[in-house]
A = this chain, B = another copy of it.
Amino acid sequence: MSEEKRNPLEEPIEAPAEVEEASGEDWKNFHPADAADHLEDLSLEQQLEVVGEMGVEEAANSIAEMEKHDRSELLDGLSLGLAADILQEMSPDDAADALYDLDEPKQNEILSKVKRDHAARIKRLMKYDSDTAGGVMNTEILYLDQNLSVDQAVNLIRKEIGEMEIPYYGFIVDQNDKIVGVVSLRELLMAKTGTRLKNLIKDQVLVSVTFDVHQEEVARLIKHYNLLALPVTDYEGKLLGVVTVDDVIDIIHEEASEDMQVMVGAGPDETVDSPWTYSVKKRLPWLVINVINSAVAAMVVAFFEGTIAQMAVLAVLMPIVANQAGNTGHQAMVVMIRQLAMEKFDRKKVWIAVLREAKIGVVNGLFIGVLVFFGVFLWTDTVPLALVMSAALCADMVIGSLAGASIPLILKELGRDPAQASSILLTTLTDSAGFFALLGLAAVFLLAG
């Protein structure tokens, strides 16, 4: 343990002083989270040099806080011995995360130099999908036998607590390590000495998840029930680990901005620190799909090419319809995606929400329709054209509202991510419908007359 005092509000990682402006040599005075930020700004060569100069414990804490891509590159560049020493200092779940993106031979090479039981724990964690309860849980937890008395439990905690990452509660298990309850330090301190743990928890209702539950559901449960930690078990209820509220913070932030990114076909885990080639790889396939989808809308226009040749002003009005309906549809869509992201899926409630969006679409569509009627009339001085434009715009805005609200739901019902490429689907639809309405109405009412 270092000489400095931890801030007790933090997870018990070594967390020394925060220093706002520090030169390259002051790594000791950085909080690991800040050290990680600074490391990320250096080239790989500089990173390797700095990590070589750091203490192993400091290095472990800082690397654990680094962004995924940078962390993998750095770990890959270190000597096997140093990488193993650093992993040895990390908690098993941080170590598993850090190793996750290296290729398998490299993982095994490094792990072969880590102490046997620590390596075994890390390997066990790496088997879980990284976006499930198993992939995000901590395994350094306090098992308390249900037959202990409160005072025995407090003594055990006093002895063991220094090693634990989650020091605020113990997990009560039966003889088969099946979880039967949870007890907080606070409760232990308040309970009558001599009380058996199993009596302390006899009316407790335990919320727990199996290891294969998706992290978004884990986050939802912790948020919904204001939990500080959620036990993770196997199918038999045997305690495997625990997801704490601070892990969930990262998950919630990830999932919420993930939705925004996958909606437009960017990679869910892209950040400004990702290699630019990674971003190209993630985005280009969706751009190809988008260009093919755009071609569908273009075909609608092509069908009316003769109409446009006779009345080029329609080409002027087309982008207004498409853009406005797309915007309207997105407003409905993002509210629906937010709903699906963090609330329990309630089929009846969400389809009622589609009707709600339809109402909003009709009112907004009528208002903008009237506005645009006057705009087009003032500009072209022809009532029929202004009528056709405002009718097409209003209709497409209602279609946009309905489509925007429904697309995430339909994706969800199909078992897909409700946000995935939803923006691309939406604009294909609003573009096509808008062009069809505008050019179709024009062909029938303006050119036939």
Contacts and interface: CB of A to CB of B under 8 A. Distances in A.
Contacts of A154: 189
Contact of A338 (B227, B246, B261): B261
A312 B306 contact: yes
B320 A294 contact: yes
A446 interface: no
Interface residues of A, number: 136
A118 interface: no
Contacts of A248: 249
Given A227-B10, A253-B256, A305-B316, A246 B245 contact: yes
Given A280-B360, A298-B320, A324-B287, A158 B252 contact: no
A361 B356 CA distance: 38
Interface in A326-370: 326-328, 330-331, 334-339, 341-342, 344, 349-350, 353, 356, 359-360, 363-364, 367-368
Contact of A301 (B270, B316, B335): B316
Contacts of A167: 184, 186
A309 B309 CA distance: 5
Nearest to A339: B272
A245 B249 CA distance: 8
A423 interface: yes
24 contacts: A5-B200, A8-B187, A9-B184, A9-B229, A18-B207, A31-B225, A33-B224, A41-B349, A222-B249, A228-B246, A245-B249, A249-B249, A253-B342, A256-B260, A264-B334, A266-B335, A279-B356, A280-B363, A287-B368, A288-B371, A291-B375, A295-B320, A298-B319, A308-B315
A182 interface: yes
Contact of A7 (B182, B290, B363, B427): B182
A445 interface: no
A10 B186 contact: no
A208 to B, nearest CB: 10
Contacts of A18: 205, 207, 225
Most buried by B among A182, A230, A294: A294
B276 A356 contact: yes
Contacts of A263: 260, 334
Contact of A169 (B9, B334, B372): B9
Contacts of A349: 41, 272
A190 interface: yes
A13 interface: yes
Interface string A250-294: 101100110111011110001110001001100110111011011
B256 A252 contact: yes
A116 interface: no
Interface of A: 3-11, 13, 15-18, 31, 33, 37, 41, 154, 157-158, 161-162, 167-169, 182-187, 189-190, 200-207, 222-230, 245-246, 248-250, 252-253, 256-257, 259-261, 263-266, 270-272, 276, 279-280, 283-284, 286-288, 290-291, 293-295, 297-299, 301-302, 305-306, 308-309, 312-320, 322-324, 326-328, 330-331, 334-339, 341-342, 344, 349-350, 353, 356, 359-360, 363-364, 367-368, 371-372, 375, 423-424, 427, 431, 435
Given A205-B16, A261-B338, A339-B271, A182 B364 contact: no
Q: Which 6 A-B pairs have the closest CB atoms?
A: A256-B256, A8-B184, A272-B353, A315-B315, A309-B312, A264-B330
Nearest to A249: B223
A27 to B, nearest CB: 15
A140 to B, nearest CB: 14
A409 to B, nearest CB: 11
Nearest to A36: B224
